[in-house]
Chains A and B, each alone.
Chain A
Amino acid sequence: MASNGGVTWRRTEEVHVLAVDDSLVDRKVIERLLRISSCKVTAVDSGLRALQFLGLDEEKSSNGLNVSLSSSSSFSRISVSLPSDSHLRLLFQDLKVDLIITDYCMPEMTGYELLKKVKESSAFREIPVVIMSSENVLARIDRCLEEGAEDFIVKPVKLSDVKRIKDYMTGEGEKERSSKGINKRKQRDSFDDLSSSPPSILSSPSPISSSSSSSPSPPSVQSASAPSSPSPLDSPTRRVKMASSK
């Protein structure tokens, strides 16, 4: 990473994921899944901490800036409380989050509530949010998707889930999607599941800060033509990419 006048530039291939889960075991697993998929990970144990990391929490420290550093293997984990000044944000460009993956059932703040807060924020609403849950409840899934969740994964999370998520984050032209067999998705076409990987549902995505096309044309299967090289999927699945309505 080159440093230039206090601004640190992130390598474009490196994806930074903020993982939120109150279970220590699950955090350990999701961290490993993400790291083995070449993602940078910051794992926190609550929605509140996630908001704090993003600088979205209401209670900011009085001196404005509060940084503690801890290194873990080749990744640095930085806890920071930032005021909303954008120039200060630039200094911490390295912390820029590309994806939030959160558990649904958490005490104090659920994943759904965290999702809402992120989507309500002008600064962070573009960040794709993926919800994980051990409960496969259609109403819950729908509610999350309607609120703007990118995807919904039923736990336990597998490597193929993470690979799939990473693929649509790195912005291929044609996204792929697999249906969980829960095919009651409002206003969307659905495809039958073609893959053996655990399916999940792709929602209407908010514009992702990558070069993804959001064409409302009928979905068709195309080979992925990504500007950045996508990681190979275990099995091809099809996805519907909807124009953003947010």
Chain B
Amino acid sequence: MDIVNQLQRQFIDHSTSLHREGIVDDQFTELQKLQDENSPDFVVEVVSLFFEDSEKLLNNMARALEQAQGVDFKQVDASVHQLKGSSSSIGAMRVKNACIAFRSFCEAQNREGCLRCLQKVTHEYSLLKNKLQSLFRLEQQILAAGGSIPVAK
């Protein structure tokens, strides 16, 4: 059972740091509560949808900001608004906050500001993705070793 304990401890540490660093917030915990034997992969499923959706939106933003003939800030803002919504729904706090800042530059029609924000959002998104994938990997390892996943209080 040593390996299971080790993995569980790693899982708890990883989960704690995700919250402490503000990468995820309480809403992520809410989602974890919705996972049970009837829907054992719920969190992974939602997060996967979020990843797909986000990457599309980030691409949209990048393309819209690249337009030499003039940036359609409404379009950029629409994508940022969507990303803000979905990141809020899964508890991706830093991504959400980066989107909030982004929207004000869209409103100001400030291309440079928008590009900086896009960089920031992309960075936060990549960080989130890496950390969540590590978390899910740990979960799989725990289950494979016959253990159970520690439940967040």
Q: Judge if A33 is at the interface, Cβ distance under 8 Å.
A: yes
Residues of chain B lying within 8 A (CB to CB) of residue A227: none
Distance in angstroms from A71 CB to nearest chain B CB is 16
Let me know if A156 and B46 touch, CB within 8 A. no
With A25-B90, A158-B30 as known contacts, state yes or no: A32 contacts B39, CB within 8 Å.
yes
Q: Judge if A211 is at the interface, Cβ distance under 8 Å.
A: no
B residues at A contact (CB < 8 Å): 27, 30-31, 33-34, 36, 38-39, 42, 45-46, 49-50, 53, 81-82, 84-86, 88-91
Q: Judge if A134 is at the interface, Cβ distance under 8 Å.
A: yes
Q: Judge if A243 is at the interface, Cβ distance under 8 Å.
A: no
Let me know if A24 and B49 touch, CB within 8 A. yes
Taking A157-B89, A159-B34 as given, write out 14 further A-B residue pairs in contact, using a Cβ cutoff of 8 Å, ordered by the A residue number: A23-B53, A25-B46, A25-B49, A25-B89, A26-B85, A29-B89, A32-B42, A33-B34, A73-B38, A105-B81, A156-B88, A156-B91, A158-B27, A159-B30
A residues at B contact (CB < 8 Å): 23-26, 28-29, 32-33, 35-36, 73, 105, 134, 155-159
| Contacting residue for B86 out of A26, A35, A157, CB 8 A | A26
Let me know if B88 and A134 touch, CB within 8 A. yes
Let me know if B45 and A155 touch, CB within 8 A. no
Distance in angstroms from A164 CB to nearest chain B CB is 14
Closest chain B residue to A134, Cβ basis: B85
Closest chain A residue to B39, Cβ basis: A32
Distance in angstroms from B36 CB to nearest chain A CB is 7
Let me know if A25 and B31 touch, CB within 8 A. no
